[in-house]
Amino acid sequence: MSGTRGSTDGRVERGNQTRRLVLDRTMDIASVEGLEGLSLGRIATELKLSKSGVFALFGSKEELQLATVRAATDVYATHVVHPTRELPPGAGRVWALCRNWLTYSSTRVFAGGCFFYAVAAEFDARSGPVHDAIATSLDDWVGYVERTIEKARLAGGFGAELDVPQLAFEIIALMEAANAKSVLHGDEVAYERAARGILNRLRAAATDPAALPGSPDFGGDTPASA
C-alpha cells in the first residue's frame, strides 16, 4: 500500500509541475496575444508535452483560459497586494500599492504588461464564464484599492470628506494609461508621469502631505513593501 501511495503522490506532483509549467506559458501568451491565442494543442507543441496530457489537466480551451485567469490573479496579488499588507493604514500605504502596480507593469512580470488590462479589452463586450472571471478579478482589485483608501481615511490620512471611489478611479486610470502607452509605444517615461500624477493627487487629498514622498522615487525595480 505504501508503494502505491508513493506512486500516486509522484503522479500528482508531476501533474502539478506540468500545470505550473503550462500556466506560466499561457499567462505570457495571453498578456500579449489574448486568451483566444491559447489552445491545448499549441501549448502541448510549444512545451513538448503530449496533447492528451494537457487535455487531462484542463479538459477544454475554456478551462485553460479560466485557469490562466486564476493563475494570473495569484501572480498579480503576489507582486502588487501582498507586499503592502503589513503596512499601517494611511496615505503611504496607498502610495506603496500604486508603486507596486507600476513596478509590476513596467518590469513586465507578464510579457505584455498588465495581464488584466490586455484580457479585459479582449473580453469586455463578451459574455460567458471567461468574461465573468476577468470582471470579478478587476472588481476585486478596484474594491481593494477603495478599501485601502477608506482605511487610510478612517485612520486620518485623508480628510473625512474624501470621495473614495473617485480617488480610486483616478489613480487606477493613471496606472492603466501608463501601461497602455508603454506597451504600445515602448514609452517608459509614461510610468514616471503616472507616478507623479498619482503622488500629486494623493498629496492633495492627504491631511499630512509630508507623509508621502516629495517625488515618485519610482525606478521600476522592486515592489514597495515599506
Report pLDDT digits (tens) over 155-187.
999 999 999 999 999 999 999 999 999 999 988
DSSP 206: B
- Is 133 within 8 Å of 182 (Cβ atoms)? no
Confidence of residue 1 (pLDDT cuts 50, 70, 90): low
- Is 99 within 8 Å of 218 (Cβ atoms)? yes
- Is 148 within 8 Å of 94 (Cβ atoms)? yes
Picking from 78, 93, 209, 83, the residue whose alpha carbon sits closest to that of residue 151 is 93
What pTM did the predictor assign?
A: 0.88
Confidence of residue 226 (pLDDT cuts 50, 70, 90): very low
